[in-house]
Amino acid sequence: MINLNELLALPAPLVLASASPRRKALLHHIGLTFTTVRPDVDEDAVSITLTPDTYVEELARRKAHKGATMVDGDAIVIGSDTTVVLDGSIVNKPIDETDAVAMLQRLSGRTHTVHTGLALVRKDSGRQLIASRSTDVTFRELQQDEIEAYVRTGSPMDKAGAYGIQDDFGAVFVHHVHGCYYTIVGLPLELLYTSLRTFVGAST
């Protein structure tokens, strides 16, 4: 596997400001070496009246900057946030199983948009790069027993829109995708890679 830290000539250690196992798996998938921190960011402090791209970018920025305060020495910190938008409204994580069922009922047979924000922050200089991607996702018509069975697994409870396309069962809800698959999972890899290249190049 290519060592992306060496290929990119990263001038500082890479840190992922996220506890998401999905984001960690994606970074490992492309050959990045990194450590993780878990920033405590109040997501309710960011208004959902913002445009979806601005909303996820601001949360990603806050996570990256908070993560930078949690590491010793210089680092390049990655922050990310994902949300679902349906009918112009942001659909975040469900508050309970009843809410998760209602979310999936709303998404059934329709197209929604997944937005993921990305932030890179260099701890020593405070320099940052902010970006985002969006992907349209169309669900097939879901049956009530399918929705309830999926919600009982608990998997939807920590995911925007109450589903994970990478889940064993959540995957079969998706009829088709228009855009970047990894944006839906929670970290658009092509955007991350090109952003790191830009970020490193601008610092040399």
Per the residue annotation, which of 81, 96, 145, 168 is the catalytic one? Answer: 81
Residue-level pLDDT at 168: 85
Residue-level pLDDT at 183: 97
Beta strand 128-139 pairing with 14-17: unpaired
Single out the residue of 137, 47, 43 nearest to residue 95, CA to CA: 43
- CATH for 4-202 is 3.90.950.10
User: In this structure, are residues 70 and 117 in contact, taking their beta carbons and an 8 Å threshold?
Assistant: no
Query: How do residues 174-184 score in pLDDT, each as one tens digit?
Result: 999 999 999 99
Residue-level pLDDT at 203: 59
Query: How do residues 45-88 score in pLDDT, each as one tens digit?
Result: 999 899 999 999 999 999 999 999 999 999 999 999 999 999 99
CA distances from 174 to 2, 35, 140, 141 (A): 32, 32, 6, 9
Length of the chain: 204
Each residue's pLDDT, cut to its tens digit, for the chain (204 residues) gives: 888 999 999 999 999 999 899 999 999 999 999 999 999 999 889 998 999 999 999 999 999 999 999 999 999 999 999 999 999 999 999 999 999 999 999 999 999 999 999 999 999 999 999 999 999 999 999 999 999 999 999 999 999 999 999 988 989 999 999 999 999 999 999 999 999 999 998 655
Secondary structure of residue 107 in the 3-state scheme: helix
Residue-level pLDDT at 2: 87
- d(CA 184, CA 193) in angstroms, rounded, equals 17
Secondary structure of residue 203 in the 3-state scheme: coil
167 carries an active-site annotation: no
Residue-level pLDDT at 53: 97
Residue-level pLDDT at 141: 98
- Rounded to 5 degrees, what are φ and ψ at 72? -90, 135
Residue-level pLDDT at 43: 87
Residue-level pLDDT at 133: 98
Residue-level pLDDT at 202: 65
